[in-house]
Amino acid sequence: MLRSRPITGKLKELQKEIEGYAIDYGLDFFEQIFEMCDYETINILASQEGFPSRYPHWRFGMNYDQMSKGYRYGIQKIYEMVINTDPCYAYLLDVNNWVDQKLVMAHVYGHNDFFKNNLWFGNTNRKMMDVMANHGSKIRRYITKYGLQNVERFIDCVLSLENLLDMSELFETSDIKRKRKETERQFAYENSLEYESEDSGSESLKSFLRSKYRHEKSKKKVAKESSEDQLLKIPKKIPERPVRDILYFLMQYAPLEEWQVDVIGILRDEAYYFLPQRITKIMNEGWASYWHSTIMTQKALNASEVIDFADKHAGVMVMSKQNINPYKVGIELLRDIEYRWDTGRFGKEYNECEDMPEKLHWDKKVGMGKEKIFEVRRTHNDISFIDEFLTPEFCNRQQLFTYKYNPRTERFEIDSRDFNAIKQKLLLSLTNFGSPVIEVIDGNFENKAELLLTHRHYGVDLDMSFATETMRNLYYIWKRPVNLQTIVEDKEVVFKFNGKELKPLT
């Protein structure tokens, strides 16, 4: 079993010291708990995305396979891990030396503050440790009842759709959410009634909608009466508006058994729990790095540790030509913002100044830097962070560039150092957390209870072989053909997956 234990003795004192600095700097965090573990344990935790208990699934075993190999063969090692819970748990590796532990602790206080204060995390469940454990026991129960093969197969299908999330879900308070879902359910229910009364509806759609809401009928009867007038406005289409939260759509409308609906619900909850971290990678790592750097260099380091710290820090900050390093770009952009708001290099007056020497030595001594970065960490995500604060000077200083494939030389080559090109490419890669935007637009396509999805095309085509396999999994859940509107090489196409193969509709 897991072999992690609370830190004691000198490390406990170190934590107190670092925590003191963090408070002095104005960081605001959940209670912080550090646990010490050996590399085997930290590999297991990392394989399970930070949580000691997850549902059984081979993919955690795959992660473990890779992590433990990576460690054993000296390819990579994990220094630290922290999860978004209250109290906030972080794991230290027992073989790390003293400077490493210091650095990691300082870094973790940065993450903790970010988890607590960044608005995108506002609705995440801070008791996720228990929730995950519950998910585990629920799914284990389903496995006992319905068989490992069955449940695992179904989980695989749902994981296939795990990235089809709606970011706006993060901002709904639970109250609004509950209300909205009630009305939606009502709509669906009324719709099913309408289909029943019409002969035109397909049999299969009718039957699954009927079975789905039969048991709700009795419950909702009373409620129905009072909302009679609402009925008049009910559109026939399912969904009424395009839906990005595809897992939720499936829970509502797919012909599923109860345990299957529950499994989707479980995986969906977990996906939304992790979503804020996916959309704040640059900021979150930048913020934590900013604070480990500040706390270490200004307070915590001994003279004898400076070189080792610099070595480690430089390792984390290393720039890559294939990709931007979120630690590096994050910390530098935060420092840039601090500098600009300290010197007053923002706003109309500064932007419209055309006197270069004056602009170069601009310093209004406004000293709003710290205040500004705390505000930024509260309200932004990676997209708005880059969109609002990336400047041409910054791109230049940080040697950012875009690159693309050159078919003539058959290699990737640096394309441009133009500010707008860089910003555009960076934003595109962050849009919708790097996943294509896919929406359900019709649950009764061509009146045959087929599913129609649309891919909102922002310039990049889908990988069609992956799309085919994804649609195969979706078919397994929906049990009727799945259609997808997309653009391939500048041409609009609708593909149909009929249970066997993908064919363009003509």
Partner 1 sequence: MDHPIKRDHSRFRKIIKGKIRQNLRRFVSQGQQIIPKGKESFNIPMPSIEIPRFKFGDKSQGGTGQGDGEAGDPVQGQPGEGQPGEGEAGSDEGNKELEVEVSLDELATILGEELELPRIEPKGKKQIETQVNRYTSIGTVGPDSLRHIKRTYKEALKRQIALGSYDPNNPSIVPSRKDFRYRSSKSKVEFENSAVVIYMMDVSGSMGDEQKEIVRTESFWINLWLKSQYKDIEIRYIIHDATAKEVDEETFFKTRESGGTLISSAYKLCKSIIEADYSPEEWNIYPFHFSDGDNWSSDDTKLCMELLNNSILPSSNVFCYGQVESRYGSGQFYKDLQAAYGNNSDEVILSKIKNREAILDSIKDFLGKGK
The span of 30-38, 177-185, 358-366, 425-433 binding partner 1 (CB under 8 A) equals 425-433
Which of positions 440-459 make contact with partner 1 (CB under 8 A)?
A: 455, 459
Task: Give 502's strand partners.
Answer: 497
In one-letter notation, the amino acid at residue 397 is: R
Task: Compute, in degrees rounded to 10, the torsion defined by CA atoms 68, 74, 79, 82.
Answer: -30
DSSP designation for 233: T
Q: Which is nearer to partner 1, 212 or 244 (CB)?
A: 244
Contact between 157 and 166 (Cβ < 8 Å): no
Which of positions 207-236 make contact with partner 1 (CB under 8 A)?
A: none
Cβ of residue 274: shortest distance to partner 1, in angstroms?
5
Q: Which is nearer to partner 1, 205 or 482 (CB)?
A: 482
The Cα–Cα gap between 326 and 332 comes to 10
DSSP string, 30-47: --EEEEEE-HHHHHHHHH
Cβ of residue 95: shortest distance to partner 1, in angstroms?
13
In one-letter notation, the amino acid at residue 302 is: N
Burial 229-255 (b: 16+ CB within 10 A, else e): eeeeebeeebbeeebbbbbbbbbbbbb
405 binds partner 1 (CB under 8 A): yes
Q: Which is nearer to partner 1, 213 or 433 (CB)?
A: 433
The mark string for 477-506 relative to partner 1 (x by CB under 8 A, - otherwise) is ------------------------------
414 binds partner 1 (CB under 8 A): yes
The Cα–Cα gap between 391 and 174 comes to 37
The span of 176-184, 254-262, 270-278, 363-371 binding partner 1 (CB under 8 A) equals 270-278
Q: Which is nearer to partner 1, 162 or 371 (CB)?
A: 162
Which of positions 278-337 make contact with partner 1 (CB under 8 A)?
A: 278, 281, 284-285, 288, 303-304, 306-307, 311-312, 315-316, 318-329
Which of positions 20-79 make contact with partner 1 (CB under 8 A)?
A: 44-51, 53, 56-66, 69-70, 73-79
The Cα–Cα gap between 243 and 245 comes to 6
Q: Which is nearer to partner 1, 219 or 397 (CB)?
A: 397
276 binds partner 1 (CB under 8 A): no
**361's tokens:** 């030595």
Enumerate residues 6+ apart whose C-beta is below 8 A from 480: 204, 448, 449, 450, 451
The span of 19-27, 179-187, 233-241, 428-436 binding partner 1 (CB under 8 A) equals 428-436
DSSP designation for 26: T
Q: Which is nearer to partner 1, 200 or 322 (CB)?
A: 322
Q: Which is nearer to partner 1, 363 or 418 (CB)?
A: 418
Which of positions 78-117 make contact with partner 1 (CB under 8 A)?
A: 78-83, 104, 107, 111
Task: Give 290's strand partners.
Answer: none
